[in-house]
Every structure is written in structure tokens, then in C-alpha cells.
Structure 1
Amino acid sequence: MAQRRGRHAYGDGIDRFGGIDAVVNNAGFGLFGIFEGASREKIQEQFDVNVFGVMDVTRAILAHFRARRSGTIVNVSSGAGVFGLPMISLYNASKFALEGFSESLSYELASQGITVKIVEPGGVLDTKFGARSSDEFGNASVPAGYEDFVVATGKVFEGLRASRHASSEDVAKVIFEATTDGTDRLRYVATEDIQPLVRARRESSEEAYMGLMRERFRN
């Protein structure tokens, strides 16, 4: 269904402008809560939007890009595609999948003159993403025994939210840069709030990183 709609939209764009230069996959939402309390239906929805939708939209444009021997695909990931956090295991899983898909795809499509980019934002102030996640959490069950952990983890997330200063315009500028800079750079970290955790994940040892995270989320 999404792929058919994508082909229709692409056809309209090609008819109007003569061709398409770039595609930005930005749709996404985040489930928040204990994994054990999530339904199979919600898990499917998380992956339908954040992973399978991206794949469908991407597949629909590839014949056009290959014929032109050019094109850029920008997939908007998240800090949650770099480092794992409790209470967002399903969102993490979808964004880790998106990162792996995008990196692997970039090697395939380079042979066709097509570039793949990943943009990794953290918290953004002026979107409804957080409100949607809060609504999802409110509708999810908390299995017995997790209550203290949920309260303690919620306090950590309050601190993380307090460090957010980026706007959707800030992220849009990074998406524009990724789309137009003419390089084969794969990843772009889009907001300052996630930089410390990104550096810890990518630049420190596994032991140091896991020690940091376990200490932060110890109940």
C-alpha cells in the first residue's frame, strides 16, 4: 500500500519537475514503556512506520534513481539508533534496524551512483513526538515488579529532556546539508543534546560505555 502511494507521488513529482533528486524518509514515532507490557500489534506498528515504511518508499524510487545514475536518500534516524536506553527498547530496535539497513544499502547503491545518508537527531522541542510517546506510554501496561524501575528511569529521562535545545528548523538544516553537500558521508548527528552519549558509544571502550550506562540506569 505505502509503496503504491509512493509510486503515485513520485510519478506526480517527475511529471511536474522532470525528475526527483532526493528523498527524505522522516516519518516515525516512538513507543515508550516496558517491553513486556507492549502488545504484538503495537510492536508491528512501530516497525511498519519506522522500518518497513522507509523500505517501501525507498524501493519505489530506486528505478528512477538508477535510470538517472544519481539521487540521494536521507533516512532520519535518532540517537536511539546509536545507543540503547531502557523504556524505549522497541523504538531502539526500529532505529537500530534503520541504521543497519541504511549503511548496508549505501554500499549497494553506491554502485548505481546513488547516495544514502543517515541523520541522527535527539530531542527536538517543537514537535509532537514527545506527546505521542507519552500517550503511548499512558495506554501501555506496566507489569508488576517494574514500578520502582519506571519511576527511577523517568527521573533520568526528565534530566535528558532538560538538555534539549534544538528546534525542528535546526534538524531541517542538517537534513539540507546532508542532501546537498555532495559528499559520500553517511552519518550526521543533528542535535547537541545527544553528542555525549554518541561519543561514549562510538569513541570509548565497550567496558567504559556499559559501565556508564548501567550506573546511570541503576535502580
Structure 2
Amino acid sequence: MDQTFNPPPGWAPAPAGWTPPEGWRPDPGWPEPPPGWQLWTDAPAPRRRWPVPAAALVGLLVGVLVGVGGGAGSSSVALQEATTTADELQAEIDRIEDDNVGLRDELAGLESARTGLDAELAAAEAEVARLTGEAAAVASQAQDLTTREATLAAQQAALDAAVAAVAARESAVTQAEQRPAPQVAVAPPASGGSSTGAYENCTAARAAGAAPVRRGEPGYGPHLDRDDDGIGCE
């Protein structure tokens, strides 16, 4: 059976009976054929001449016989009428056959369009499936991110609490360091002292448990600090 070129949607229509020459390639600007598209389809069957129906032949024979029985003139008229009737019948048959050819061509076009639509539908379904998979993956990633954000928030809260505790401890230490040291009153020795309140000598300071005696402390005197370094009875 002969085949005809079936251009996909978006391609330039091919002339009737066109066959691609050797080395022919489609225009790069044309879209890709839909999946499963058939570039070659069976050509419609050629129109055939229908024989004169049997009823017309019978009528023709009857007319001839009647004409024979009725004379040469009547036979000629009957034959002419029968021939006219046969021609009219053949013309009607040709018209119906032309209509059938047109309907077959239309049916072939509809089937080709249906093939294209089926291919487009399959492609659309595949795209929907792909997008559905991507949406599920995105939803899973979003859930994972939400979980990670909650974990990070809990860790940040724990870190903030630890920083606050350290800051509180540092503040307490600073306040403790800033408190004035308690003053310890040292009573002057009961004996061995001088009028200035200083120990008479280092022996007296050691006996009182005050050695060494620093400048500014009760019992300190320059005579106890021979090297004048601020510490007596070293």
C-alpha cells in the first residue's frame, strides 16, 4: 500500500505526493514531533469505478427485449432510455464514491489528529507525574528544614542560657572584687612600744607576731625598715 508524508503539528504542509529527497532534513526551527508520531501513513485507497448495477443491466435487457418485440423504433428509444438511466446511475455512484473518499480522508485526518492528541496527553501526564514528584521532594525538604530550625532554636536557647549564667558569675566576681577589704585593727603591743605606736625593735614585732611590718600598718616605724623599702623586720 502506498504511503504519504504526515507532517507533525507546527511543520510546513507537504505537497500532495511529495517524497523527501536524499539527505533531506527538517527545518531546525520546526518543533519536535510528539512522541509516537508517525511521519508516514497509509495512503487512501484509489477510487474505483463501480460497475453498472445488476438492476440497471436487467432494465437495459428488458428494454432491449421490449424494443425487439415492439419494433426497431421502440427498441432504439428503449435502448437510449436504458443507457441514460445507466449513465445517471453511474454518475450517482461516482458522486457517492467521491463522498466516501472525502469521508475517508477526513477520517484519516481525525485519526492522525487523535494520535497527536494522545501523544500530547501522554506527555502532559508524564509532566504532571514529574511535577508531582518534585512537589513531594520539596515538601520533604521543607519538613526537614523545619525540624532543623527547631533543633537550632533549642540549641540557641541553651547557648543563651549558658552565656547569661557566665555573665551573672562574672558580674558577681566583679562586685566581690570591688568590695573594700575589711580593716583588721592591730592593737599596739602592750610592752616594748614607743610613743609613736611603732614597735621598739624587730624582736618586739616578732614577739607580737606582726613581723614583717609594712609601712602604713600599726607598729611600723622607719627604724624597723633599714633599707627603706616599706617593709620592716624582713
Of structures 1 and 2, the one scoring higher in RCO (CA 8 A, sep 6+) is 1
TM range (shorter): under 0.3
TM-score of the pair, normalised by structure 1: 0.20
Structure with the higher fraction of residues in helix conformation: 1
TM-score of the pair, normalised by structure 2: 0.19
Bigger Rg over Cα: 2
